[in-house]
Amino acid sequence: MADDDPRVLVVVGLAHPELTGPAIRKRVARMRLHEMADPVAAMYAGMAAEKAGDVTTGVRFLASAIDGLREQVRLVPLTQALGHYAWAATHAGEWPAAAAAAQEAAGLARDTRQPQYGLTAELIGALVTALRGNEADLESVLAEPERALLAMKGGPLLATAHLARGAAALGDGRHDDAFQHLWPVFDESDSAFHRFMRWQALLDLVESAAGSGQTSRLTEVIEDLEAISRHSEPPILDLNLACVRPLLAADDQAEPLFAAALAQDLAGYPFLRARTLFSLGRWLRRQRRSAESRSPLRESVTLFDALGAAAWSGRARQELRATGER
């Protein structure tokens, strides 16, 4: 098989995306989606792109694969494509589509006897629910898939449950709780450690640490992820790193780092942009620059509202009112 065969790309991408990511992204960039006759090939290309850190390209290929597989009534790979799409779309800020795909994948997984895909899809659906902040009892949503994965000894697969709990706590402003939920995903000694989910979850971890006075625990994690970024340049990790740097900086160094983060191409990652604007607005207000803080806070509200991030919208509006705006 050629080294640009999507089947090869997804295998090497799943095995070690840090080493293979640059080559995978280059090869997927050469592919013409409209020329792909086999939707399974499009699925593999989308999976490979997402594993290499290019979430937005992953969404595009996986969405096309889903359409083709649905038309051909190929339910086994359709289940898989829906699950991978749900994960990628979650991190691209396409939450309604992600939630719908996760729900469909969970149902199809039962019909096609792919329990691992079904349980993972349920956890991704819970993560989307947590990000939206519209589920009063997240634990009831997580309980069954988490119990089943524990019975299967699926430790790393449980990372998504930790991310969901962390996202819910962070949206509510419960930074210490969020850190406790998220830290196992970054702790190599924990069964929930997930080397590659750290890329998407970094902003959550750093924001929770900054809000709970625990940034001193992050030194080794940041050094490791910065090294991966220098070597492999996964877009989702690079953007997360840009967004966390101002949160870790001293006040006299933060402003240019906020500007650098917001200068990144975040069009495909609206939640990252919204949260960085929110953090900038809060930082400006703490510097007694309330008038300047209103513009980023207003933009963050607009983005949070468009995403359907109810808890974050509420916090941003509260912060905006604290500047004197009514």
Q: Give residue 135's pLDDT.
A: 67
Q: Give residue 43's pLDDT.
A: 97
Across residues 115-134, what is the average pLDDT? 93
Q: Is the pLDDT of residue 26 over 80?
A: yes
Q: Give residue 291's pLDDT.
A: 93
Q: Where is average pLDDT lowest: 101-105, 135-139, 165-169, 307-311?
A: 135-139
Q: Is the pLDDT of residue 116 over 60?
A: yes
d(CA 157, CA 175): 23
Q: Can you say how many angstroms the Cα of residue 75 is from the centroid of all Cα atoms in its chain?
A: 26
- Which SS3 state, helix, strand or coil, does residue 129 take? helix
Torsion of CA 285, 257, 89, 318, to 10 degrees: 0
Q: Give residue 257's pLDDT.
A: 98
The larger pLDDT score, comparing residue 200 to residue 14, is at 200
d(CA 209, CA 166): 11
Q: What DSSP string describes 285-321?
A: HHTT-HHHHHHHHHHHHHHHHHHT-HHHHHHHHHHHH
Token representation of residue 307: 């995403």
Q: Is the pLDDT of residue 1 over 60?
A: no
What is the residue-averaged pLDDT of the chain?
94
Quick one: angle between helices 197-211 and 159-171, nearest 10? 40
pLDDT in tens, 238-264: 999 999 999 999 999 999 999 999 999
Q: Can you say how many angstroms the Cα of residue 9 is from the centroid of all Cα atoms in its chain?
A: 22
Model confidence at 137, pLDDT cuts 50, 70, 90, reads confident
The larger pLDDT score, comparing residue 1 to residue 217, is at 217
d(CA 53, CA 242): 15
pLDDT in tens, 211-240: 999 999 999 999 999 999 999 999 999 999
pLDDT in tens, 161-202: 999 999 999 999 999 999 999 999 999 999 889 999 999 999
Q: Where is average pLDDT lowest: 148-157, 173-182, 307-316?
A: 148-157
Model confidence at 13, pLDDT cuts 50, 70, 90, reads confident
Query: Percent of the chain having pLDDT more than 90?
Result: 83
Across residues 29-58, what is the average pLDDT? 94
Q: Domain map of the chain by residue range?
A: 1-73, 249-326
Q: Is the pLDDT of residue 149 over 90?
A: no
Across residues 281-286, what is the average pLDDT? 96
Q: Is the pLDDT of residue 14 over 90?
A: no
